[in-house]
Amino acid sequence: MNNFEYYNPVNIVFGKGQIKKLKDLIPRGEKILITYGGGSIKRNGVYDQVIEALSDHDFIEFGGIEANPQYETLMSACELAKKEQISFLLAVGGGSVIDGTKFIAVAMHHSDDPWKILSQRQSIQGATPLGSVLTLPATGSEMNTGSVVSRGKEKLGCFGDPRMYPKFSILDPEVTYSLPERQLGNGIVDSYVHVLEQYLTKDVNSPLQDRMAESILKTLIEEGPKVIHVKDDYASRANFMWCATMALNGLIGSGVIHDWATHMIGHEITAFHGVDHGRTLALVMPSLLRVQKEKKQNKLLQYADRVWNLSNGTPDERIEQAIILTEDFFNSLGVPTKLRAYNIKEEDINTIVESVRSHIPVNLGENGDIDGEKIKTILMQAL
């Protein structure tokens, strides 16, 4: 196992009816900015629960944070927060609202252009404390330091500064009942691929991390169909929600080697073709696994055996079968695995490849061997 430090201070408040605890989670005396997206929280009752819980607090609101949050919108929120001397930010929404709110939190303290935190990897200079009420299990943003922000055709992320951890995140599985099937499918695939990107790499003798990763994958495979097909099923929503958080809160990724090439390529597909984040991963991952199957052979065989119970056939056959079952799983959730589903064609591929290379000038993947040519091969095979 590799050396690591694991520090995660997020207070997770999980379960039915927990939103009312907001009144004690945020100290009285804070001046709060509540941030949210396009209005789903007003239709599903989450907004009313938040406002009721904060009835004795001092707060203002900023709505309209888009899916794949836009820099300009976040900077408007930042200006408002500075003008109103906000001391606490409360994000109520999915990954986009939480990521966007983390960006507002750091932009408020940045003396240079805050975009440079993403484009030039400038260190942050401070962060206003934030908390979250999660409404869409998918990204893990509620328990990690990540923030992905878009500006035109640029979609960039920053990860790793502990000041960007939420102070708390409320996870009430009942708030997911209003999610459309498409977002549920996106969230399951996103969580699944977060695990694969930290697990299907090189063996560093980390059996605990491996088994935790496999447990999340197997739980998603078991619960996913119930999440999609059984209406308002609390148990499956709760299990899915906790899987999504555990998939990207740093725990299974400690001491092991990561990949993240699928995410880096996927971000460009969102930027150029507007495909939802989770759906881009289903397009890239199976193809990437086929292209990289020799380097990933040991872990792919372990995945085939332990997650999909495949023990017959040659190693190559077992690996191919595991990839096919992964694709079938994504497709069963209503998430396509081929670029043609979004009308993305061969002539679109070079732009995606060039944009990945311009944002990340080094090769991708755990072996640093995914160069422009390989990205092109991965995408061509996903057509």
Rule CB under 6 A: say whether 136 interacts with ligand NZQ: yes
Rule CB under 5 A: say whether 197 interacts with Zn ion: no
Rule CB under 5 A: say whether 276 interacts with Zn ion: no
Q: Could you tell me if 218 and 80 are in contact, meaning their C-beta atoms sit under 8 angstroms apart?
A: no
Q: Looking at 5-13, 154-162, 186-194, 239-247, which segment touches Zn ion (CB under 5 A)? A: 186-194
Q: How far apart are CA 88 and CA 370, in angstroms?
A: 41
Site string for ligand NZQ, 189-218 (x = CB under 6 A): -x----------------------------
**CA end-to-end span of the chain:** 37
Q: CB under 8 Å to 128, separation ≥6 — which residues?
A: 81, 86, 87, 88, 89, 104, 105, 108, 109
Rule CB under 6 A: say whether 179 interacts with ligand NZQ: yes
The angle at the Cα of 339, spanning 243 to 371, to the nearest 5 degrees, equals: 85
Rule CB under 5 A: say whether 99 interacts with Zn ion: no
Q: Looking at 14-22, 73-81, 171-179, 340-348, which segment touches ligand NZQ (CB under 6 A)? A: 171-179
- The encoded tokens of residue 279 equal 């759906």
Look at the block and give the residue holding tokens 């750091």. 106
Q: Looking at 3-11, 54-62, 145-153, 296-304, which segment touches ligand NZQ (CB under 6 A)? A: 145-153
# of chain residues touching ligand NZQ (CB under 6 A) = 35
Q: Could you tell me if 74 and 51 are in contact, meaning their C-beta atoms sit under 8 angstroms apart?
A: no
Q: Could you give the 3-state DSSP secondary structure of residue 92?
A: strand
Rule CB under 6 A: say whether 127 interacts with ligand NZQ: no
Q: How far is the CB of 83 from ligand NZQ (least distance, A)?
A: 24
Q: How far apart are CA 307 and CA 195, in angstroms?
A: 12
For binding to ligand NZQ (CB under 6 A), which residues are involved? 37-41, 44, 67-68, 93-97, 99, 135-136, 138-141, 144, 146-148, 175-176, 178-179, 183, 186, 190, 248, 263, 277-278
